[in-house]
Structure 1
Amino acid sequence: MNDLTRIPCVLMRGGTSRGPFFLERDLPADRAARDAALLSIMGSGHPLQIDGIGGGNPVTSKVAIIGPATVPGADVDYLFAQVRTDRQTVDYSPNCGNMLAAVGPFAIEAGLVKAQTASTLVRIHNVNTGKIIEAKVPTRLGEVIYLGDASIDGVPGLAAPIALTFLDAAGAKTGKLFPTGRPIDVIDGIEVTAIDCAIPMVLMRAESLGVTGYEEPAALTANRDLIARLAAIRIEAGRQMGMGDVSDMVIPKPVIISPARKGGTLSVRYFMPNDCHPALATTGAVGIATAAATAGTVAAFPAGPAALPALIRIEHPSGRIDVQLETRDGTTVAGLVRTARRLFEGYAFAKPNERVEHAA
């Protein structure tokens, strides 16, 4: 194994996502070398990622890189990397709120944050967006507690609840909640809401796209005409949002909005960007809930704008996510509960001289 690079690694599930967690110090400092190592470790460029530890799906082809905090008010830095399955590209443009759920536990067990008696508050600086998120991690006698009675839709079984609070999530990438300056725009004849809250997204009503919005994710992913139209809309939306050419980026994410059918506020189908998510991204839930509580957006049309504090219940293919919106010090904060689990620890092995393409 002398021709392979051995890198300490912990495989973790965070929310409805899964991927390897690395300490920043254990990865190459040079970006090109680091990206090449991640592509090799994940097996990027093959649809099954058969020569790596990726799962052949965007929700299992994610990487978290954790290090000491570099900004005041934070305990740790968290850099998220979306490793493409279809081609050898590492994209640092978005945050991932599901993987975020595992950052606190990982940081405590890596010795970056000292565990407290009953629970430990970990202030996480997301390097991708510059935002700080608070994670309340269950701990006991200096150790992380993973077992509990909480459940989240899209993950089997029960686990300990991890409360995430997104502080001032608006303008995560562009600096503006509505980067175009309007809650409604028209692109390709479709009314859209281009919103940047936790993650940039383009929200559209399902009926305007000729679908119900209640289809199973696999059926929507297989609808190539729909995927092509969503791609064209999101690329133009990215340009109008001031993000430039987003064709090689995974943001903004296309989202299809429909009226709720199971007692929630609204129903959604979230794309990543060319595959429909089997559940819903945590960052997506924060932005969608914010749109639902804002008059004039396509999300407020079926939901009705809500006054804060408000509980927004978002139905998705695997169930629902509840987002609590309230104000703190004059800004809107979003809270929700996720779970996480440590799955495996050891070493990941990277091959040398892997080809790499860069995304923003």
Structure 2
Amino acid sequence: MSGQASIPLVLMRGGTSKGLYLHERDLPPAGQARDALLRRLMGSPDVLQIDGLGGSRPITSKVAVVAPSARDDADVDYTFAQVDIESGRVSYNGNCGNISSGVGPFAIDERLVPAHEGVTEVRIHNTNTGKVLVARVPVSGGLAEVTGDLAIPGVPGTGAEIVMDWSATIGAMTGRLLPTGAPVDKLTLEDGRVIDASIVDAGNPVVWLRAEDFALTGDERTEINDDRDLLALVREARGKACVLMGLCADWRRGDTDVPAVPFVGLVAPPLSYSTLNGQRAEAEDMDLRLHLMFMNRLHESIAVTASISLAAASRVRGTTVHDAAKSRRPGAVLVGHPSGITDVSVTVDDDTSGPEVTFRSLGISRTARRLMAGRAFYP
């Protein structure tokens, strides 16, 4: 096509996110040329991403780069990229669990790993964190199965269950479950208030704050995105937590130096509320209520890596999550979020306390679906 080049890719939904899945062999080497191409494919910078494939939300402006792995303990290497909508910045600091759930089906359908009828186990080395996660993907006829009866909040209908094991991702970014060594740290805000923060690194690091410290009751929805004062406070708390983690020297540079990770989670005790699609979520069906902030916007559901961090935090005494959560079912934490209630599995060897807790299981089930395969054009 005159004036344009093209590249093969697959557009996939992974969990409650959507992104571009590409073979590493088709891309320029990691660096400025690759980032420029990803920006152009997404249509960033532009709030609508109208001249690209992005969907004008952080959860639809994501990329998975996949290649065969040279590691003995992995089948594929997977690099996650977050393309900022407004600035066009391409960030690699951290992983996306929802996009991760599409990597196994992509690897099977693209013949990067042998398909085994029934269930195929795909060992995924995430290059962003250096951790290996395992996807157990249902397979039929040599391809990843799509149809099934698993429903996940935030996705219409049902799909085939992909079981994701994240138990080997403790300390994904910092090397420690509790990066500061403490279950709770004190953050002093510029207005003089002191608030509690639990920084927990599993799947990805997340800064867990109490919703009540931000005058939230737990039944708020997307109006949070229009509350500039609240967003400024969340940004400040996140920046100061980044300083404690050694990710930046000045809290004001948190958005610039580490734009995507850590997330911020605002936790509250269980509460009945209406979901984004108008259904009721009842307090007795959840362990806690969550507002997750991702790139200074309310996440419409819950990021998989954040659910992993939250489940881990729920088993460490003294964290803000542990204090807020009720325990309704052994081996699980039930998280109420804007789209519904998500069930995360978690069991530990010693459920008493401290940063040395050992996890026997830490995971979540997702669905994924190939939406389109072809060539994307760019000037």
Shorter-chain TM range is over 0.9
Q: Distance in 2 between matches of 1:327 and 1:202?
A: 22
The answer to whether 1:11 aligns with 2:11 is: yes
* Cross-structure match for 1:236: 240
TM-score (normalizing by structure 1): 0.93
Query: Counterpart of 2:320 in 1: which secondary structure?
Result: coil
* Cross-structure match for 1:84: 84
* Cross-structure match for 2:223: 219
Q: Is the contact made by 1:293 and 1:304 (CA closer than 8 Å) also made in structure 2?
A: no
CA deviation vs aligned residue, 1:287-328 (integer Å, no higher than 9, x gap): 011111110000011215899x62111111101111111258
* Cross-structure match for 1:294: 316
* Cross-structure match for 2:333: 312
5+ unaligned residues in a row in structure 2: which ranges? 272-282, 350-356
Q: Distance in 2 between matches of 1:210 and 1:33?
A: 44
CA deviation vs aligned residue, 1:199-257 (integer Å, no higher than 9, x gap): 111111111111113211x2111111111111111111011012125322211111100
**1:259 is matched with which residue: 262, 266, 269?**
269
* Cross-structure match for 2:275: none
Bigger RCO of structures 1 and 2 (CA < 8 A, at least 6 apart): 1
The answer to whether 1:278 aligns with 2:300 is: yes
Amino acid in the other structure paired with 2:375: Y
* Cross-structure match for 2:28: 28
Q: Is the contact made by 2:234 and 2:264 (CA closer than 8 Å) also made in structure 1?
A: yes
Task: Give the CA deviation at 1:270.
Answer: 0.5
* Cross-structure match for 1:118: 118
Query: Counterpart of 2:166 in 1: which secondary structure?
Result: strand
The answer to whether 1:129 aligns with 2:129 is: yes
TM-score (normalizing by structure 2): 0.89
Q: Is the contact made by 2:170 and 2:202 (CA closer than 8 Å) also made in structure 1?
A: yes
Q: Is the contact made by 2:208 and 2:264 (CA closer than 8 Å) also made in structure 1?
A: yes
Across the two proteins, how many residue pairs are aligned to each other?
A: 349
Amino acid in the other structure paired with 1:109: D
Q: Distance in 2 between matches of 1:173 and 1:279?
A: 23
Query: Counterpart of 1:106 in 2: which secondary structure?
Result: helix
Q: What root-mean-square deviation, in Å, do the aligned CA atoms of Structure 1 and Structure 2 show?
A: 1.7
* Cross-structure match for 2:372: 344
More moved, 159-168 vs 328-337: 328-337
1:93-112 alignment to 2 at 5 Å?
93-112=93-112
Q: Distance in 1 between matches of 2:180 and 2:328?
A: 22
Q: Distance in 2 between matches of 1:331 and 1:74?
A: 21
Query: Counterpart of 2:196 in 1: which secondary structure?
Result: strand
Q: Is the contact made by 2:288 and 2:326 (CA closer than 8 Å) also made in structure 1?
A: no
Query: Counterpart of 2:59 in 1: which secondary structure?
Result: helix
Q: Is the contact made by 1:286 and 1:323 (CA closer than 8 Å) also made in structure 2?
A: yes
Query: Counterpart of 1:246 in 2: which secondary structure?
Result: helix
* Cross-structure match for 2:280: none
List structure 1 runs of 4+ shifted beyond 3 angstroms.
304-307, 327-333
CA deviation vs aligned residue, 1:311-357 (integer Å, no higher than 9, x gap): 11111110111111125895443121100000001011233xxxxxx
The answer to whether 1:247 aligns with 2:255 is: yes
Q: Is the contact made by 2:346 and 2:359 (CA closer than 8 Å) also made in structure 1?
A: no
